[in-house]
A = this chain, B = another copy of it.
């Protein structure tokens, strides 16, 4: 049985697309039961439509409180039958109610090597800081922003001449590899959380990827097809 997932977006949904692609390639054993956006003009909604996926807009501006918004979103996710929640560029902080509704089953991706550069625009923060290595992280969501136990990270080079876009593009390439892989491990029940540590049962060795300015280090490594 594929893992039923709801994907929450706020923008272009390129990570959503990478998840759709891996499902359609029969690599990722998941079924998207709902694509939900808090912004009605999010381009990711058109991707969902194009692939015949159920999609819905719930604008946070229509609610008096964060709690009321989250209740509505949780209800929609439950109605869809989703077992897990994937935050793919969803720009809202979740309430404890939301997080408690799907314990150990909410994943987020962040465009930085956490705990470096949490919050908005990790790519811009990295470029301005002048790091020589940045990257991306998939983690379980807890009540602090970009803070929960880390499942997989990928490091990419940073350069003195980087702007947020150039380093962001380098990071995004890796986001599209590690996020579907992390979801697959969740689908297979291979993620064991102990405190802040996540172990991937029978997880692959760390992996060197690409070469030159397009190289990366990914840990744990990727399995075939990711």
Contact = CB atoms under 8 A, between A and B. Distances in A.
Contacts of A211: 208
A129 B215 contact: no
B215 A217 contact: yes
A199 interface: yes
A114 interface: yes
A68 interface: no
A160 to B, nearest CB: 4
A216 B219 CA distance: 10
Contacts of A114: 116, 131
A65 B177 CA distance: 53
Contacts of A196: 128-130
A24 B135 CA distance: 36
Given A115-B116, A215-B217, A216-B217, A132 B150 contact: yes
Given A155-B133, A199-B161, A217-B215, A208 B208 contact: yes
Interface in A147-198: 149-155, 157-158, 160-161, 192, 194-198
Contact of A198 (B130, B150, B205, B212): B130
Contacts of A117: 115
Interface string A116-129: 11000000000011
Nearest to A155: B155
B217 A157 contact: yes
B133 A219 contact: yes
A115 B129 contact: yes
A135 B219 CA distance: 13
Contacts of A129: 115, 150, 196
Closest 10 CB pairs of A and B: A217-B217, A160-B199, A157-B206, A130-B196, A157-B219, A208-B208, A132-B153, A155-B155, A160-B197, A130-B197
